[in-house]
Structure 1
Amino acid sequence: MNAKGALISVMCIALVAMTAGAGTLAYFSDTETSTGNTFTAGTLDLKISDGEDWGDGVTATWTLSDMKPGDSVSGWVVLDTVGSIAADHAEITCDYSVTEESPQTESDTDPNTDQHPGWMAKNLTIDQAWYQADGYNINLLTGKNVLTGEQHDYWKIEDVDGDGKRTLYDLKYGNGGNGVDNLPPPDTFQYSFSMNIKFNETAGNDFQGDTFNLTVIFTLNQDGSQ
C-alpha cells in the first residue's frame, strides 16, 4: 500500500468513528402538561309566556271559532331571555297552513284552499301590531318607536304583495322572509308582542268551513349578520 492509500484509509476510519460517536450523544429534557381544559358552549335561550308559565312555546294565543268576515281576535306574548349569551336582535315571523273542511259545504267555492294557504293568509289582516318594553313602543305597521321617533323599515311588516294591507302573508314573506327584523332583544327588559288579526269583510265563500293554522315564530339571534 502506498502512502497516499494509507492516508485515505486512516481518514475513512476516523470518519466512521466520529459518526458512530455522534449517535451516542444524549440531552436532558422535561415535559409538563396542561390538563383539564374544557370548552363549554353558552346558551342563547328565549322563553315566552302568554300569561301562563314561561316555556319554549305557547299555544292557542290567537284563536277564533265560527269566524265570519269582519271578525277579529287579539293576543299577546311576552318574551324573555334566560341564556348566558347576550343576543344581538330578535325577529318575528310566522308560518301557516290550511285544513280544508271535510266533507265540504256546498257553498265552499274553493275545495283546495289547503293547497294555496297564502290566499287565506292574505285575507287575514293585521290591523295592530306592537313590540313594547321600557323605552320602546314600536308600531310594527309603521316601523316607528312612537316614544323616541326612531324608525326603521326592518321594524315594519312589509306590504309584500302591494295590496295596501298588512296581512299574515306579509308577516311571513316580508323583509326577505324575516318578517320584522333587528328588534331589540329581551336582554335587559322583557318585551311584549301584541297583534290584532281581522278576517277581511271581502273574504268570500272560498273559505267557508276552512281552518287556518297559524304559528307565530320568535327568533333570538346572537350576531347582526343573522
Structure 2
Amino acid sequence: MNDDTNDRQLYNLSRRKVLGGLGAVGLASAGAGLGTSAYFTDTESFTGNTLAAGELDLKLDYKSTYTGGPGRLEDIQAMGYPDAEDLGDGRYLLAQTPRPGDGMGWEDYLPEFDFCAPENDQYLVNGDGISIFHLEDVKPGDSGEMTVSIHICDNPAWLEMGGELSENADNTMSEPESEVDSTPDAGELADAIEVTVWYDEDCDNVYEPTGTGEQQELEVALVSDVSGSMSQEIGDLKSAAKGFVDNLSSPDEAAAISFSDGSSLDQQLTTNYQTVKDAIDQYTSGGGTDMDQGISTAETELISGANATSGASKVMIVLTDGQPSSQQAATTAAMNAKQAGIRIFTIALGSGAATSYLENNIASSPGDAYVAPDPSDLDTVYSEIAQVVLAGEQLIAQGSLADVMALLAGGVELDGDRTEEGRQPYPGNTTQCIGFEWVLPTDVENEVQTDSVAFNVDFTATQYRHNPQTTTTAPQ
C-alpha cells in the first residue's frame, strides 16, 4: 500500500445498503459526532438526522426494511415513509438510496453506480440529513434491518464505528405496565431490544457466521475465462486466483479449470496448493467463451474426480469478462451443478461481462454474484469470496441495544481486510457493507409498553498516511 492510493483498489460490491433508530414504542435514528484529531477526518453521522462530511470523502448508501405484521402499509407510509413498499409476509421496504429505476432491484443497480463521482452525491448520504427509523407502535416480534454501504473515496483510511444511547424513556405508565414495572422513571426497551452488527460481506443483510467450508472439508474449483478478450486481464487474473489459493489450508482442496474454445482441467483437486498456482501461471488468452464447458468440467471434478470427497463442501468460482458462447448451454450446466450440491460464485470482470445474466442464471444466489469493474479489483473480489467461503461473516457487536450502544460509545475500529492478520486500513475507492438488525423478542412483556428509545450511530474515516495504527477492537 502506498501513501496516497492503495495498490489493491477495492471494487464496488453489487449490493450496498445504512443505519438509524426507532421512535414511540420503537427506535429513533440519530448519530454521534467526531472528536478533534490532528489528522484529516471525515464523519458520516446519524446525529439528530444530520450528517457531517470532511475533506477525506466518506459516503454512504443504504437500504432499510421493517417486519411489523401484514396489512400495515398505509400506517407505515403515514409514519414518514411515503415510498414504502409491501414486500409480503409482513415485511416492508422503508427506504433506499440510491433508488433504482423501474424493474431493477437496489442490489442490481449498485454495480453500475459510481459512488465517488461528485455528480452522484445527490443520490447518496454525504452531508445531508436523513432519518432511517422513525417507527411507532412497535410490538414484540417486530424487527428491522438496515445495510449500510460505506464508500471511502480517494485516499486510504482507517474506519471507526461509533454511537450512543441518547434516550431510554419509560414515558407514560399504562395499567398493564404498572402491574409489572417497578421502575417508572427508567425505560426497559433498550435492554429488551436485541441487536446484531456485522461485516456483511455479500451485502444481503443476513448474518452468516459459518463459512461454506468452516465445519467440513472444502473443495473449490477455480473456473477461469482465458478467451481472447482476456489478453489484457490475464496477469491480474493469475495474481488474484493464486491469492485465493493462498487462503486455503489442509484438508481443503483446490482445482484449476480454464475455458475458451472448450475447457481444460489444468489441475485436479489437491492439497498441494503450489501445483494449483503453477497451473494458473500457465494460462494464456485466446479463443471463445465456452463457459458451459468450464462449468461442466468443474462439476465432474468436484463430484466424481479422483480426489473428490463425498460430504465435502463443494464450491465453484466462475470468472468471465464477456458473454458465454451459449447462454442456454451455460445456464443448463450451472443448473446441473447446483442440483448436484455445488455452490457457485460468479465474478463479472469489466463492462463487457454479462453481469445480470451471471447473477440471475449462473450464481447460486444474487448474493453470490460479484462484480469487478477493473482488473485491479480482482484481488479484493477473491478476498471477499474467501471470507464468505472460508470463515463466514464476522461480528462487530451483538447484545441488547443498551450494551451495543455502550460498546460503540467507545468507538469500534473496523478492519479493512478480515482475511489478513491484524487490523488493516481501507484502501481508497473502497466499499464496505455493514449489516445492522434489531429485534424485539416475543417473550418481552408489558414492562416495555409505551417505552421509547433513541440512539446515535456514526462512521468516521481517518487518514492512513503518516498514521499507522495496529490495534483491533475484538467483536463483542
Q: Are 1:107 and 2:168 matched, yes or no? A: no
- Structure 1: which amino acid aligns with 2:385? L
Q: What's the counterpart of residue 193 of structure 2?
A: 124
Which letter does structure 2 place at the counterpart of 1:70? Answer: G
Partner of 1:195: 436
The within-5 A match list for 1:1-226 is 43-50=55-62, 51-52=97-98, 53-54=123-124, 55-56=126-127, 59-82=130-153, 85-87=155-157, 89-98=158-167, 100=169, 102-108=171-177, 109=181, 110-114=183-187, 120-127=189-196, 129-132=198-201, 142=209, 147-149=385-387, 156-158=395-397, 166-174=399-407, 177-179=410-412, 181-184=414-417, 185=426, 187-222=428-463, 223=467, 224=469
Does the 8 A contact of 1:92 with 1:178 survive in 2?
A: yes
Post-superposition offset of 1:197: 1.0
CA contact (8 A) 2:161 2:414 kept: yes
Equivalent-residue separation in structure 2 for 1:215 and 1:141 (angstroms): 25
* Residue aligned with 1:209, SS: coil
Q: Among the aligned pairs, what percent are the same residue?
A: 18
Cα pair distance change 1:46/1:179, threshold 3 Å: same
Structure-2 change in CA distance of 1:142 and 1:218 (3 Å): farther
* Pairwise CA distance, 1:72: 0.3
Q: CA separation in 2, counterparts of 1:141 and 1:213? A: 28
Secondary structure of 1:220's aligned partner: strand
Quickly say closer, same or farther: Cα 1:92–1:140, change in 2 above 3 A. farther
Summarize deviations over 1:91-114 as a string: whole Å, max 9, x none. Answer: 224322335354432333242225
Please give the alpha-carbon distance, in whole angstroms, between the structure 2 residues aligned to 1:105 and 1:112. Answer: 13
Change (3 A) 1:206 1:75: same
CA contact (8 A) 1:172 1:178 kept: no
In 2, the alpha carbon distance for the partners of 1:172 and 1:102 equals 21
- Secondary structure at 2:429's aligned position in 1? coil
Deviations for 1:131-158, whole angstroms, at most 9, x for unmatched residues? 337xx999878598873247699x5335
Shift of 1:198: 0.4
Given the superposition, is the C-alpha separation of residues 111 and 143 from structure 1 closer, same or farther in structure 2, using an over 3 Å criterion?
farther
Question: 1: CA distance between counterparts of 2:206 and 2:127?
Answer: 25
Mapped contact 2:198–2:396 kept (Cα < 8 A): no
- For 2:127, give the aligned amino acid: D
Give 1:56 deviation, angstroms: 2.7
Q: TM-score, normalised by structure 2?
A: 0.30
Deviations 1:54-96 (A, max 9, x none): 22355332343211111101122221224x5420x32224322
Distance in 1, matches of 2:440 and 2:415, equals: 28
Residues 171-225 of structure 1, C-alpha deviation per residue, up to 9 Å, x if partnerless? 3344893346324537333223232210122323222111111222212233425
Q: Secondary structure at the match of 1:126?
A: strand
Q: 1:168 to 1:142 in 2, by over 3 A?
A: farther
Distance in 2 between the 1:65 and 1:195 partners? 19
Separation (CA, whole Å) in 1 of partners of 2:209 and 2:139: 28
For residues 13-52 of structure 1, the C-alpha deviation after alignment (integer angstroms, 9 at most, x for no partner) is xxxxxxxxxxxxxxxxxxxxxxxxxxxx863232223315
SS in 2 for 1:212: strand
Show structure 1 runs of 5+ residues with no match. 1-40, 160-165
User: Could you say which residue in structure 2 is the equivalent of 1:17?
Assistant: none
| Cα distance between partner residues in 2 of 1:45 and 1:146 | 23
Gaps of 5+ in 2: 1-38, 41-54, 63-96, 99-122, 212-382, 418-425, 472-476
C-alpha change, 1:49 and 1:187, in structure 2 (3 Å) is same
2: CA distance between counterparts of 1:199 and 1:218?
25
Aligned to 1:37: none
The answer (yes or no) to whether the contact 1:129–1:141 under 8 Å persists in 2 is no
Q: Quote how far apart the aligned CAs of 1:121 are.
A: 2.8
- Which residue type is aligned with residue 454 of structure 2? N
* Compared CA separation, residues 104 and 201, structure 1 to 2 (3 A): same
Judge conservation of contact 1:80–1:189 (CA < 8 Å) in 2.
yes
Aligned residues, how many?
171
Change (3 A) 1:203 1:97: farther
Structure 2 contact 146–205 (Cα < 8 Å) conserved:
no
Q: Which has the higher helix share?
A: 2
Q: For 2:210 and 2:159, locate their aligned partners in 1 and report how far apart those are by CA, in whole Å.
A: 14
For residues 443 and 56 of structure 2, the distance between their equivalents in structure 1, rounded to whole angstroms, comes to 43
